[in-house]
Amino acid sequence: MSAQTAIANLTKDPVKLAIGAALLIGVLYLLARKTVKDVATGAANVVSGNNAITQNQTNASGEKTDAYEGKGVLGTLGAATNSALGGVPASIGEAVGGWIYDLTHLDSTP
């Protein structure tokens, strides 16, 4: 049966045409709903900063760091930059943070 014959048979029987259209619409709806949900979830993860990019970061020594997790879009961008530069930004951040901590938490014992 050719495509033209199949189409001709469907147009002769409106019930078959309606059933076919309903099935097609149902399948398209389910596929679209899943795709939209997946896209929305992915976008929400990027915006919140809780995603695979931010959760798998290391410093230049290869030690795991959570500095980028939960920091929103900037955290995701920072984590991507950190990955591209081999963890150097995370190591710099740890060094600067340690230096600031040392300055603000002086030992007051003689």
Query: What angle, 0 to 180 degrees and rounded to 10, lies between the N-to-C axes of helices 88-104 and 72-84?
Result: 120
Q: Report d(CA 11, CA 26) in Å as an integer.
A: 20
- Can you give 21-70 as a three-state secondary structure string? HHHHHHHHHHHHHHHHHHHHHHHHHHHHCCCHHHHCEECCCCCEECCCCC
State what percent of residues in the chain have pLDDT above 90.
26
pLDDT of residue 28: 79
3-state helix, strand, coil in the chain (%, to 5): 70, 5, 25
What does the pLDDT look like over 76-103, one tens digit per residue? Answer: 888 899 999 999 999 999 999 999 999 8
Q: Does the pTM of the predicted model rise above 0.85?
A: no
